[in-house]
Amino acid sequence: MPRQVVVTGCSRGIGRALVAEFQKRDVEVAGCARQGSLLAEMGGDPHFRAVDVCDEEGMKQWAGDLRRSGFTPDLVIANAGLLNVRAPLWEVSAAEFSSVIDVNVKGVHLTICAFVPGMLESGRGVLVALSSGWGRSTSPEVAPYCASKYAVEGLIGSLAQELPAELAAVALSPGVVHTEMLSRAFGSADAALAVEPEEWAQSAVDFLLDLGPADSGKSLSFQR
């Protein structure tokens, strides 16, 4: 059966690299991002749409439009994420803290709400939420991000217990990848030492496509 894959936050970094790699392998892929202008070269609507993962109605509408077009994903990758500007926790504004939680936690929830019902109906599918080493350990000045990724681990663990045996939910740490977020965290020079997203995706796509019910509830890592 042909594979159909959704990637959120697909306009840059890991998400963009995954879309490109899936497309190279003739896997039908759909994606969303807030930066609609960056999606045009990937494909047309509804496969690629400017949708904020924090927009409940927008996400449900997109999933519905995809389903009506014959696209029912068997792999959904909740990749969209946001890192706070590094600072002691007491100096992080309420607005910035909320933005991180909204994208990294609520965005995963709304992605689940949009696509898991279709997976339940079709009786198959894997939901992968991008976690982090900072969802399993902590560092100074990234407390909001750590909190959000710990929450992702909890969400996915509970979701896996709720799903029927033929479906799966997995939390995946991608390791250290040279993205804009990594540059914000460590500076451009240090971030440039990490693996490039395109190189990471070349092997990660095989890993992702191999995930199945036996992996449900696991906290996995993949580093190129």
Measured from the Cβ of residue 7, the count of other Cβ atoms closer than 10 Å reads: 29
d(CA 23, CA 42): 9
- 145 included as an active-site residue: yes
Helix, strand, coil: what percent of the chain each, to 5?
50, 15, 35
From 62, 145, 150, 200, active-site residue: 145
Q: Judge contact between 69 and 28, C-beta under 8 A.
A: no
125 three-state secondary structure: strand
Locate 40 and state its tokens.
């045009």
Query: Count of H helices and E strands in the chain?
Result: 8, 7
182 three-state secondary structure: helix
d(CA 113, CA 58): 12
Closest CA to 107 of 87, 130, 84: 130
Q: Which residues are catalytic?
A: 145
